[in-house]
Chains A and B, each alone.
Chain A
């Protein structure tokens, strides 16, 4: 017999459907929203009880259409701790496993389809369907506004640069806060044989680096690399019989906000998806940041790390500059949080290399196993990974621990 711990543990409580037609003259999103609102009303739920969404699509970053980001924004659902896109029959299974695992309690699954231009001659003659097919085909998925000259932020670095300026403006910080993050990560990378960038840098090097999107500079940005990372997850019981001392997944949370998928309409600094994800983790974790040996905040841009530090609760919003200055070890050229927590010991995305944050997980596992020789952090037993954390999509907070 196979294990079936979810036996009788889950139930479907609401359903919603739209009319079907060959040409309803509506967007996929419009149809998705009609079904979604009907399902919520059928269940008799308050929509704010929904804390997980499975949208439509094969692409995890599918935006526009009826992907989970667009659905959450369009439905005005404040907070979710689990999101995914899926399709065909498997999306139901994904949603069920999310509830069973405790990453969310009430999940909304929405699937919408529209007749593609390849499906009939009349569909191919519809200018709306044609335009959608042409522009979506280009990148496999559509980042909303990508093809809209009125929405001219094309590269994600541009709005992050704008948020850096907003942060400096609102909190009166100087760019030293970003410089310390860049230097800390580079210093750690010098001892990581896998790191792409191993030449030490100084605060002065940071400030002298080329401006790309003001105020963002070259050394605020992660380093694109070719790389591969993998890991294997099994049950704790099975893990105890294997070769390495197990690294346990203590708690996890994703984060989604009602802003949906736009940077320019993003919520306030302390309301974005990082804060929701880390609050979701706190609610699920027996360990706190006071117990942390290692912290891996996302650092696609240095401003991401500032967000992770503040959202994790190491300091109040706007106080990271002071925190890093007081935790700065001028001899080692690194900082510690709360006097002991080391940050980005692999060098992070800024200096180890851009792996979507997945290299944070593998580094954390190696350090918690205690197998890292000269670069081993003594007695590392806990690690908090915030990988791939955009302000609005995909923030994942994962607490790892060893015995």
Chain B
């Protein structure tokens, strides 16, 4: 009903391995293929096999056509920065102030409004521009490769 069987071929990580690798993530039956994909450095987003609509956040039903045939599908990794915040202050007020970290909602080229939240790397934080073209890369955190985005064109000067 959810099309998840197709994606099981993507990587060989078992459910147990996905749970063990990502102890802090709310993994459920609607998003587990996304995380299984991450472990194989593949960015998978659910896509409706009936109408082609990309379904993200991960849900089991296509919100356009109400088809249940939603299949985790690899995206190109190309996009642009739609929203970006420089986080100067951590949630914990006692945490030492570090370098500002840029977190972006990257709009993927596959569909208007299809956005993935990830850090922007290989670019000074103060040179991240809205609408800047970026491409998927991976950063290591706690022994797991996480999606990040880096500029796919020249970086403009400071603001």
Asked if A159 contacts B85 (CB within 8 A), the reply is yes
Residues of A within 8 A of B26 (CB): 64, 131-132, 135-136, 142, 144-148
With an 8 A cutoff between CB atoms, is A43 at the interface? Answer: no
Residues of B within 8 A of A151 (CB): 117
A283 and B82 alpha carbons, distance in the complex (Å): 32
Instruction: Tell me, rounded to whole Å, the shortest Cβ–Cβ distance linking B36 to chain A.
Output: 13
With an 8 A cutoff between CB atoms, is B123 at the interface? Answer: no
A144 and B59 alpha carbons, distance in the complex (Å): 12
Binary per-residue interface labels of chain B (47-90) against chain A in the complex, 1 for a CB within 8 Å, 0 otherwise: 00000000011011111101000000000000000111111110
Segment 1-36 of B: residues with Cβ below 8 Å from A? 1-2, 15-16, 19, 24-30, 32
With an 8 A cutoff between CB atoms, is B114 at the interface? Answer: yes
Instruction: Tell me, rounded to whole Å, the shortest Cβ–Cβ distance linking A35 to chain B.
Output: 12
Find B114's partner among A147, A162, A265 (CB 8 Å cutoff). A265
Asked if B59 contacts A166 (CB within 8 A), the reply is no
Instruction: Tell me, rounded to whole Å, the shortest Cβ–Cβ distance linking B66 to chain A.
Output: 6
Asked if B114 contacts A158 (CB within 8 A), the reply is no
Asked if A73 contacts B24 (CB within 8 A), the reply is no
Residues of B within 8 A of A132 (CB): 26, 28
With an 8 A cutoff between CB atoms, is A33 at the interface? Answer: yes
With an 8 A cutoff between CB atoms, is A287 at the interface? Answer: no
Segment 90-145 of A: residues with Cβ below 8 Å from B? 127-128, 131-132, 135-136, 142, 144-145
A182 and B148 alpha carbons, distance in the complex (Å): 35
With an 8 A cutoff between CB atoms, is B121 at the interface? Answer: no
Instruction: Tell me, rounded to whole Å, the shortest Cβ–Cβ distance linking A85 to chain B.
Output: 18
With an 8 A cutoff between CB atoms, is A373 at the interface? Answer: no
Residues of B within 8 A of A153 (CB): 85, 103, 117
A127 and B32 alpha carbons, distance in the complex (Å): 11
Instruction: Tell me, rounded to whole Å, the shortest Cβ–Cβ distance linking B89 to chain A.
Output: 5
Instruction: Tell me, rounded to whole Å, the shortest Cβ–Cβ distance linking A199 to chain B.
Output: 22
Residues of B within 8 A of A27 (CB): 28-30, 60
Contacts A128-B29, A147-B25 known; A152 to B63 CB distance under 8 Å? Answer: no
Asked if A37 contacts B57 (CB within 8 A), the reply is no
With an 8 A cutoff between CB atoms, is A61 at the interface? Answer: no
Asked if B115 contacts A265 (CB within 8 A), the reply is yes
Find A128's partner among B28, B56, B61, B66 (CB 8 Å cutoff). B28
A131 and B28 alpha carbons, distance in the complex (Å): 8
With an 8 A cutoff between CB atoms, is A343 at the interface? Answer: no
Residues of A within 8 A of B82 (CB): 166, 264
Interface range on chain A: under 10, 10 to 19, 20 to 34, or 35 or more? 35 or more
Residues of A within 8 A of B133 (CB): none
Residues of B within 8 A of A142 (CB): 26
A214 and B29 alpha carbons, distance in the complex (Å): 36
Q: Which residue of B lies closest to A40 (CB)?
A: B66
Instruction: Tell me, rounded to whole Å, the shortest Cβ–Cβ distance linking A315 to chain B.
Output: 23
Asked if B88 contacts A213 (CB within 8 A), the reply is yes
Instruction: Tell me, rounded to whole Å, the shortest Cβ–Cβ distance linking A55 to chain B.
Output: 14
Residues of B within 8 A of A159 (CB): 83, 85, 105
A246 and B21 alpha carbons, distance in the complex (Å): 61
A212 and B38 alpha carbons, distance in the complex (Å): 31
With an 8 A cutoff between CB atoms, is B124 at the interface? Answer: no
* B2, B62, B84, B131: residue with the most chain A Cβ atoms closer than 10 Å: B84
Find A127's partner among B15, B24, B66, B113 (CB 8 Å cutoff). B15
Contacts A27-B30, A27-B60, A127-B15 known; A155 to B91 CB distance under 8 Å? Answer: yes
Find B130's partner among A74, A76, A146, A165 (CB 8 Å cutoff). A165
Asked if B29 contacts A152 (CB within 8 A), the reply is no
A151 and B57 alpha carbons, distance in the complex (Å): 11
A29 and B59 alpha carbons, distance in the complex (Å): 8
With an 8 A cutoff between CB atoms, is A30 at the interface? Answer: yes
Contacts A74-B59, A158-B87 known; A264 to B64 CB distance under 8 Å? Answer: no
Binary per-residue interface labels of chain A (61-78) against chain B in the complex, 1 for a CB within 8 Å, 0 otherwise: 000100000100111100
Q: What 4 A-B pairs come out closest when comparing CB atoms? A: A76-B63, A264-B105, A162-B83, A214-B86
Given A132-B28, A213-B88, 8 other A-B residues pairs in contact with their CB atoms under 8 A: A47-B66, A74-B63, A146-B26, A165-B85, A166-B130, A214-B86, A260-B57, A265-B56
7 contacts between A and B (CB under 8 A): A26-B2, A75-B63, A152-B118, A159-B85, A166-B82, A166-B83, A265-B105
Residues of A within 8 A of B (CB): 25-27, 29-30, 33, 37, 47, 64, 70, 73-76, 127-128, 131-132, 135-136, 142, 144-155, 158-159, 161-163, 165-166, 169, 211-214, 216, 258, 260, 262-265, 267
